[in-house]
Amino acid sequence: MNVLGIETSCDETAAAAVSGGRAARAPRLLSSVVSSQVALHRPFGGVVPEVASRSHIRFITGVIEKALADAKLSSAQVSAVAATAGPGLPGSLLVGLTAGKALAYLLRKPFIAVNHTEAHILAAFLEDPGLRPPLLALVASGGHTELIVMRRQGEFHTIGRTRDDAAGEAYDKVAKLLGLGYPGGPAIEKVARRARGSVRFPVARMKDGSLDFSFSGLKTAVANALPHSSDRAALAAGFQQAVLKALSARAREALAATRAKTLVLAGGVAANSALREAFTRLARDERIRLVVPKMSLCTDNAAMVACAGWFRLRAGGRSALSSPSHPGWNAGERLPAGAGGLK
């Protein structure tokens, strides 16, 4: 089974191919092409949705062709086409989704609508094919910060989420405040590494003891501290410490609540080295197995989408060619019948 994956939910135009027989535990990655729009959005200090969708339209065909060529696959050898249907920017989602459906229609092969958040978790199976559910995943990206339990392959359940900003969004907003540029995650990480001290910021905790996150108060705390401190590195380091503390504390509580023995760290923020180190220590303390996909599989890519499509195809699933995009699609959420949901 060779699956082509397409990803255009935000500001990366990506396509990838995976392959694996039905008996395989996970597919093998054959190719992964990512065309980043970072330079295009940098002058605006963030992603401009209209600019993103127009750029996807421009590059999607070439990116798909390159993914097939790199994988040495002819289109006739493609068993199914998978594309991200949500969550994401509405205009951006439509480009990859429509390209995927058109290709599936043309090739007379199954089309599979993929949930982007679930795909971030499934990237861990490309990293470690021996991985097996049940597992707990922390997905931290520009749009999401969620704790998700995967009981069985294809079965996801969200047990904690951010009540305001996502962790990556907080990185991006604080970087903007500190004049560190876009995207904020790598910029803050770089500056924080060189800091000689750090400003202490409070770590938000839910009063109801839930596993939810909150990062908007932290952003305000940095804004309030800014006029009193000229040491931007110390502010960046203090901010990063508070984010890492919040993520590790909630993950530790979630491990206790679920008794999970495997933890997957996923999403763009998982590209952060300090976070990877903090979670390596946490895994050692808690005596659990930690799987963190390599950086190129953490930030947005289509390899994870192709992988999600492969698992879905193996389970006999496919989506209708009439299925719409779902900009607010939560991980594990079943789409209503007639809305083009997965079989």
Q: Which residues make up the interface to Zn ion (CB under 5 A)? A: 141, 300
Which of 158, 248, 258, 299 is in the footprint of ligand KG4 by CB under 6 A? Answer: 299
Q: Verify binding: residue 5, ligand KG4, rule CB under 6 A.
A: no
- Shortest Cβ 118–ligand KG4 spacing (Å): 12
Residue placing its CB nearer to Zn ion in the complex, 40 or 225: 40
Residue placing its CB nearer to ligand KG4 in the complex, 10 or 80: 10
Kindly write out the interface string for residues 211-250 of this chain, putting x where it contacts ligand KG4 by CB under 6 A and - elsewhere. Answer: ----------------------------------------
Q: Does the bond joining 293 to the residue before it have cis omega, within 30 degrees of 0? A: no
Residue placing its CB nearer to ligand KG4 in the complex, 115 or 262: 115
Q: Verify binding: residue 141, ligand KG4, rule CB under 6 A.
A: yes
Structure tokens at 161: 């989420």
With CA atoms as reference, report the closest residue to 75 among 56, 103, 110, 111.
103
- Shortest Cβ 267–ligand KG4 spacing (Å): 5
- Shortest Cβ 237–Zn ion spacing (Å): 25
Query: Could you tell me if 240 and 188 are in contact, meaning their C-beta atoms sit under 8 angstroms apart?
Result: yes
Longest Cα–Cα distance in the chain: 63
Q: What string of DSSP letters covers 245-277?
A: HHHHHHHHHHHHHHT-SEEEEESGGGG-HHHHH
Task: Give the Cα separation of 150 and 140 in Å (integer).
Answer: 16
Q: Verify binding: residue 189, ligand KG4, rule CB under 6 A.
A: yes
SS3 of the chain: helix, strand, coil, percent, to 5: 45, 20, 35
Binding site for ligand KG4 (CB under 6 A): 10, 141-143, 168-169, 171-172, 183-186, 189, 267-269, 271-272, 299-300
